[in-house]
């Protein structure tokens, strides 16, 4: 379904609801959440940097 038709169909079905801005759904992060996200990002990046296993596979 093309986007215009889809939007029209949604309006018919759900009434003339003006769409919310996406920002409306974005919550503010706590300090703990920001820290956790930064720790996880660093951890994922470390895995790529580690070039070899820590011993010989047997």
For other proteins, the binding residues (CB under 8 A) are: 1, 3, 6-7, 9-10, 13-14, 17, 19-22, 24-30, 32-33, 35-37, 39-44, 46-48, 50-58
What minimum distance in Å lies between the beta carbon of 38 and other proteins?
Answer: 10
Q: With contact defined as beta carbons under 8 Å apart, do 30 and 36 qualify?
A: no
What minimum distance in Å lies between the beta carbon of 45 and other proteins?
Answer: 10
Location of structure tokens 């801005």: 21
What minimum distance in Å lies between the beta carbon of 21 and other proteins?
Answer: 7
**Exposure string (b/e) for 46-56, b if CB count within 10 Å is 16 or more?**
eeeeeeeeeee
């Amino acid at each position: 379904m093309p986007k215009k038709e889809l939007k029209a169909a949604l309006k018919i079905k759900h009434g003339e609801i003006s769409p919310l801005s996406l920002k409306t759904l974005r919550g503010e992060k706590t300090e703990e959440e920001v820290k956790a996200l930064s720790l996880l990002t660093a951890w994922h990046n470390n895995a790529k940097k580690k070039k070899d296993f820590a011993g010989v596979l047997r």
